[in-house]
Copies of this chain bind each other. A is one copy, B any other.
Amino acid sequence: MATIAYQINKEKLEKAAFILKTVAHPTRLAIVDLLSQNEKLSVNDICDVLACEQSLLSHHLINMKLKGILRSEKDGLNVFYSLKERDVMKLIECIEHCDCNY
């Protein structure tokens, strides 16, 4: 067997998989997309636009915040979420240009 070039950084891959997993969900991806088009949005705004149940949306938002993709700031009754990592959008662009056959 030929020697295989092997420069895999295990830690990096695990980190990458972790982030990918976080955004690999239609609703969460939609949130990222929405927030890439709008500087910041309240939970309610997003709820309306995505027609997603409030509590479920909250779970998603908090999950993404926990993983460093979103940030939030409270303003009165509302909590506004925004993209912490605008780079995440690049992922979606990549994906859009990559057409797999299925």
Residues of A within 8 A of B (CB): 1, 4-8, 10, 12-21, 23-26, 28-30, 33-34, 37-38, 41, 44-45, 48-49, 66-69, 84-85, 87-88, 90-92, 94-102
Contacts and interface: CB of A to CB of B under 8 A. Distances in A.
A13 B37 contact: no
Per CB-CB distance, the 3 closest pairs between chain A and chain B, nearest first, are A68-B100, A20-B24, A87-B98
A49 to B, nearest CB: 5
Given A1-B44, A14-B26, A84-B101, 16 more contacts: A4-B49, A6-B34, A7-B37, A10-B30, A13-B26, A13-B33, A17-B23, A17-B24, A17-B29, A18-B102, A20-B95, A67-B100, A68-B100, A68-B101, A85-B99, A91-B91
25 contacts: A1-B45, A4-B49, A6-B49, A7-B37, A8-B30, A8-B34, A12-B96, A13-B29, A13-B33, A17-B23, A17-B26, A18-B102, A19-B100, A20-B20, A20-B91, A21-B24, A24-B24, A85-B98, A85-B100, A87-B97, A87-B98, A90-B94, A90-B98, A91-B91, A91-B98
